[in-house]
Structure 1
Amino acid sequence: MIFRQLFDPVSSTYSYLLASRKGGEALIIDPVLERVDRYLQLIHELDLKLVKAVDTHLHADHITGLGALRDKTHCITVMGEQTKADVVSMRLCDNDKLTIEGLSLDVIYTPGHTDDSYSFVLPDRVFTGDTLLIRGTGRTDFQNGDPRAQFESIFGRLLKLPDSTLVFPAHDYKGDTVSTIGEERAFNPRLQVTSADEYADLMNNLKLSNPKMMDVAVPANMNVGMNQANVMRHGWALTAQQALSVVGLGDVALIDLRENAERQRNGTIPGSLHVPYPSLEESIGAGGMLHELASSTRKRLLFYCAFGERSAMAVQAAHDAGLPLAFHIEGGIDAWKKAEGPIGH
């Protein structure tokens, strides 16, 4: 496995780049906007293809690099389903899998620091965001934080992992880079409590000042959705209502870009072909399935995903590949459901 821990000294943020092999797919956890060029340089040097950019929660101390990485690499943006961010390509929930080629991380909902906090687990390590820090825990006094929820996230979920599990947090302010579950259980001063009430009393009396970047970072991080004006300007976007009127016509091929887990959880539009977004480039290229379908039958390709971000990128890619009859459903299957479109399973 390729693993890199990257540091932003301004916000004391750790970001993590993972891939199963050189030349393969990669994901990055908790990227910082100001470090995006460095990430891209490293990705190029390691001959990787960034396919997912993930935030453990809505950050208050730095502006996320999710949007910039998506715009520069066409990767998928990923957060938990509780996020207040306007648009992310994929929303995860508890017990999901976060996957790329050769790697699968277990998804654990660990609220408390914020109400959208998640941790991601590999067999030998866990990425804890701000829920569990090295010899500390994330504050719980804003962004719908809840010390009792955090107590349960830590004692009921994270500390149930094997003691040897490496702990990689989103921040450290003392220069520590890694710990273990066993070390934190034994030596983390905030975990030497006997009840949720005792933990809540401790956390409610920290009297911390607000993060310096909070008033800038939180609004910015709630607005990371892709500007889809180019797709709309060219007339390549259909509203869900417009899509309802053309789905089922013989010259329209519906293309579902989501992953299997999303399809199983949220259903599909009946009659859809499944082309997961990471395989799109191959499928729309010469000789690919969608290229042949569009070229030989003159069918209109109607892409959709969860919220419209992947499909907007897919439309642009299809037109760039010489497929002029490509469109997408604005707002994805979320908008389709709100328009009372039929759903299959």
Structure 2
Amino acid sequence: MIFRQLFDSVSGTYSYLLASRIGGEALILDPVLEKVDRYCQLLRELDLKLVKAVDTHLHADHVTGLAELRDRTHCVTIMGDQSKADVVAMRVSDGDKVTIEGVELDVMYTPGHTDDSYSYLMGDRVFTGDTLLIRGTGRTDFQNGSARAQYDSLFNRLLKLPDETMVFPAHDYKGDTVSTIGEEKRYNPRLQVKSVEDYIELMGKLNLPNPKLMDVVIPANMKVGLKPDALKKQGLALSPREAIAHLGDPAILLVDLRESGERAKHGVLAGALHAPYPSISDSLKPGGMLREVANATKRRIVFFCAFGERSAMAVTAAKDAGIGNAAHLDGGIDAWKKAGGPVLAA
């Protein structure tokens, strides 16, 4: 198991790199844009392949590294389904799991600091974003924050975890790197309240200044989506209505890039081949499943995913592999459903 806690001193942000050693798949939590060069250097040094990048919430004090990491590594970007970011490749809900080879994170919806705050539990440790800090809690006075919701997230979710669970927050300004649930129960001054009303009163009296760059950072972080306009201009993107019209067309092969959990949750398209995005490079290599199918059947491959981000990257990967007529479903299955396209249970 590889675990690295990385720090951005300007914003006081902790990012976390997680990996299993067997195949070298890696995941990063809360990356900072200015540190992307360092992340990529570390990935090279450790011989790792970044496959997923996760933000615990829409940050207000730094620009996220999600988009830059996606562009450099073709990783899957992930946020919670309450996020207002324009497009990420995958959105997760409370109770879902985020997985890479040898690593599994349980998704916990823990609003309060913002209305899109999520924590991620991995065995003996929990990544709490800005919900639970070391000897503190995240402010609740902007981005639809709520002290009442945060109290519930803290006392009825996070503090119910075993006392020995290690706490790794997204921020610290005092130099602390890790705590435990038990420590925070005993020594965190904001957790010594007797009721939710006491907590609301305490948080209401903080009167903190806004983060210095909030007016710039929040709009930037809401616009992290991949813009596949170039694919449209090249005729390599199908609108939902065009794709619906081609459903059942023997000249078209629909390829579903989503993970099994997404398919079970949101349904599948009739006749689509399942080829999860993390294995797309292998599938397109000589001898790979998609390459062999494309060569043998001469069918046009049309990739689709949840929102169109992974499928746009897959079209580029297919072109690089010599498959020039691949296309993708613009907007993914989300747009397909909104256009009235039929969906089957997985």
Normalising by structure 2, we get a TM-score of: 0.99
1:265 and 1:201 mapped to 2: Cα distance? 39
Q: Deviations over 1:232-276 (max 9, x none)?
A: 221100000010111211111110000111111111111111000
* Structure 1 residue 24 displacement after superposition: 1.1
Q: Which residue of 2 aligns with 1:246?
A: 246
1:248 and 1:165 mapped to 2: Cα distance? 51
* Structure 1 residue 122 displacement after superposition: 1.0
Q: Which residue of 2 aligns with 1:40?
A: 40
Retained in 2: the 8 A contact 1:85–1:223?
A: yes
Normalising by structure 1, we get a TM-score of: 0.99
SS in 2 for 1:149: helix
Q: Which residue of 2 aligns with 1:86?
A: 86
Q: Which residue of 2 aligns with 1:119?
A: 119
Retained in 1: the 8 A contact 2:23–2:101?
A: no
SS in 2 for 1:151: helix
1:193 aligns with 2:193: yes
Larger CA deviation: 28-37 vs 318-327: 318-327
Q: Which residue of 1 aligns with 2:232?
A: 232
Retained in 1: the 8 A contact 2:105–2:120?
A: yes
Q: Which residue of 2 aligns with 1:261?
A: 261
2:222 and 2:69 mapped to 1: Cα distance? 16
Q: Which residue of 2 aligns with 1:204?
A: 204
SS in 2 for 1:199: helix
2:118 and 2:29 mapped to 1: Cα distance? 11
- 1:258-337 map, 5 Å: 258-337=258-337
Retained in 1: the 8 A contact 2:112–2:150?
A: yes
2:297 and 2:270 mapped to 1: Cα distance? 20
2:55 and 2:136 mapped to 1: Cα distance? 20
Q: Could you tell me which runs of 5 or more consecutive residues in structure 2 were left unpaired when the two chains were aligned.
A: none
2:311 and 2:270 mapped to 1: Cα distance? 17
Amino acid at match of 1:56: T
* Structure 1 residue 226 displacement after superposition: 1.0
1:105 and 1:294 mapped to 2: Cα distance? 35
Q: Which residue of 2 aligns with 1:170?
A: 170
Retained in 2: the 8 A contact 1:23–1:46?
A: no
Retained in 1: the 8 A contact 2:162–2:181?
A: yes
* Structure 1 residue 45 displacement after superposition: 0.3
1:22 and 1:130 mapped to 2: Cα distance? 32
2:20 and 2:181 mapped to 1: Cα distance? 24
Q: Which residue of 2 aligns with 1:142?
A: 142
* Structure 1 residue 23 displacement after superposition: 4.8
Q: Which residue of 2 aligns with 1:222?
A: 222
Q: Which residue of 2 aligns with 1:26?
A: 26
* Structure 1 residue 22 displacement after superposition: 6.1
Q: Deviations over 1:170-200 (max 9, x none)?
A: 0000000000000000000000011111101
Retained in 2: the 8 A contact 1:22–1:46?
A: no
How many residues align structurally? Answer: 345
Q: Which residue of 2 aligns with 1:69?
A: 69
* Structure 1 residue 230 displacement after superposition: 2.4
Displaced runs of 4 or more, over 6 A: none
Retained in 2: the 8 A contact 1:22–1:48?
A: no
2:261 and 2:297 mapped to 1: Cα distance? 30
SS in 1 for 2:172: coil
1:95 and 1:195 mapped to 2: Cα distance? 27
* Structure 1 residue 228 displacement after superposition: 1.3
Question: Matched residues, percent identical?
Answer: 67
Give the alignment's Cα RMSD to 1 decimal. Answer: 0.7
* Structure 1 residue 325 displacement after superposition: 2.2
1:23 and 1:72 mapped to 2: Cα distance? 20
SS in 2 for 1:121: strand
Retained in 2: the 8 A contact 1:23–1:47?
A: no
SS in 2 for 1:86: coil
Amino acid at match of 2:341: G
1:320 and 1:227 mapped to 2: Cα distance? 19
1:106 and 1:268 mapped to 2: Cα distance? 24
2:99 and 2:154 mapped to 1: Cα distance? 24
1:202 and 1:342 mapped to 2: Cα distance? 50
SS in 2 for 1:242: helix
* Structure 1 residue 296 displacement after superposition: 1.1
1:226 and 1:243 mapped to 2: Cα distance? 20
Q: Which residue of 2 aligns with 1:128?
A: 128
Larger CA deviation: 315-324 vs 71-80: 315-324
Amino acid at match of 1:268: V
Retained in 2: the 8 A contact 1:124–1:166?
A: yes
Q: Deviations over 1:74-94 (max 9, x none)?
A: 000000000000000000000
